[in-house]
Amino acid sequence: MGQPDRRQTGRARAGRVQAGEGELMAIFVTGDVHGGAEYGSSRFSSKSWPDGRTLSRDDVVVVAGDFGFVWDGSNTDRYWLDWFESKPWTTCFVDGNHENHRMLAELPETEWNGGRVHVARPHVLHLMRGEVFDIAGTTVLAMGGAASHDREWRKEGKSWWPEEMPSETEMERCRRNLDAAGWKVDYVVTHEAPADLAGDLCWECNRPFEDDPLQNFLGEIDRRLDFKTWFFGHYHDDEWRDGRHRLIYRDIVPVGVRREDEDREPVG
């Protein structure tokens, strides 16, 4: 077997955080996988992502929305959820707009690292909206949801669900959880972007900008919250929008990555 890629090894080390008793654990973030083999298996395979072979159950990979493998309860769903469960790490995801939100809501609910999750498999977890998680001393705000720009081509209850947009109750719960955290976390993972960024991205992607309640709510959070890096998906690209906001898609990056780190070397 060949030697591991030094860049990959360096990124794995950069993603590791203290986990008590001198041990280290890693947190990574990636973007939309859309419930498809071309997104799921290829991106997380050992060939594409050799770092994955070095991880353990204490290590966490967070998908920034549009996970899509809790879709219709089919054999395909079960196959892929079992496939993720077979990986050595713990897979977590915030929900995007392309999810079966009613099926997610029916999953068993429990507490994990200080926040509420839905359990798809013992190590495949949906991070519920507005929850703050303390993962070995690293705090992460999770806030799923987004409006579908392709809703007119989708069918309610089959490929689109109105629950894709957070309710006022969910947004208020997020505020309360941030009150408890002193409006300070290490990292934020969402599917949608804050309003200012969303407006620019919609223009660049030739999508209509709705200036919707979630974008505005995330804009409020962005202005008030003390954080290091905000990761978000939805716009199918990989780039830093500024020094603190990282649009994530196919890349798998450690949460501690900085813009200057990625400017020096490719990530993926």
User: Token pair for residue 268?
Assistant: 């993926």
Q: Domain 6-264: state its class.
A: alpha beta
Long-range own/partner contacts, residues 210-214 (CB < 8 A, 24 or more apart): 210/147, 212/147, 212/165, 213/165, 213/171, 214/145, 214/146, 214/147, 214/165, 214/166, 214/171
The pLDDT value recorded for residue 149 is 75
The pLDDT value recorded for residue 36 is 84
The pLDDT value recorded for residue 124 is 98
Query: Tokens 């204490």 correspond to what residue?
Result: 58
Q: Look up the pTM and report it.
A: 0.89
DSSP-derived pairing of the beta strands 90-94 and 124-127: parallel
The pLDDT value recorded for residue 263 is 74
Q: Work out the end-to-end distance of the chain between its first and last CA atoms, rounded to an integer number of angstroms.
A: 21
In tens digits, the chain (268 residues) has pLDDT values of 333 333 344 344 445 554 444 456 899 999 999 998 776 678 998 899 999 999 999 999 999 999 999 999 999 999 999 999 999 999 999 999 999 999 999 999 999 999 999 999 999 999 999 999 999 999 999 999 998 876 667 888 777 778 989 999 999 999 999 999 999 999 999 999 999 999 889 888 777 667 799 999 999 999 999 999 999 999 999 999 999 999 999 999 999 988 888 875 544 4
Instruction: Please state, in angstroms and rounded to a whole number, the distance separating the CA atoms of residues 224 and 56.
Output: 35
User: By the 8 A CB rule, do 15 and 254 touch?
Assistant: yes
Q: How distant, in Å, are the alpha carbons of 102, 126, 179 from that of 131?
A: 19, 11, 12
